[in-house]
A = this chain, B = another copy of it.
């Protein structure tokens, strides 16, 4: 058996490592590190918390894709873990060229991908994405007039986290 002093010291070190472990754990969970789309790390992109987006409302996002953008994404979710709608325009990423891939991320897993709509995005150019939240689904309208229909898979009537990833600069976010 260790002397009392050493035992105390050992318990102190264990506490320190538990603290560090907890911190690391929380950080990873909140960023949904398992995403196949982005190699997320603690430096996530822009995030808006507590801006509620409800059934009947329309969310409009205007931004500019970076000149060398491979892809970017808009995520709508109930919290920082889950995503009820991930809209991912891909210029050239994950085997896709000029396609918008939508999906949801629930309980640590990506679900079924949806590929619809045109591809009116251009590297270095402004884009506009309009997302209508109907009682049945999300209807995304792109600037060429094409649409994407995506079920409200998580099923809530209100979402409060909107986040952005990848190579684009968001200029405005509007909910009306």
Interface residue ranges, A against B (CB under 8 Å) = 4, 7-8, 11-12, 15, 18-19, 44-51, 62, 170-176
Contacts and interface: CB of A to CB of B under 8 A. Distances in A.
Nearest to A22: B19
A24 B176 CA distance: 36
A170 B57 CA distance: 13
Contact of A173 (B4, B19, B172): B172
B174 A51 contact: no
Contact of A11 (B11, B171, B175): B11
Contact of A175 (B7, B48, B171): B171
A175 B12 CA distance: 48
A49 B48 CA distance: 7
A114 to B, nearest CB: 27
A170 B51 contact: yes
Contacts of A7: 4, 8
A175 B172 CA distance: 6
Given A47-B50, A171-B174, A173-B173, 8 more contacts: A4-B4, A4-B7, A8-B11, A11-B15, A19-B19, A62-B174, A171-B175, A172-B174
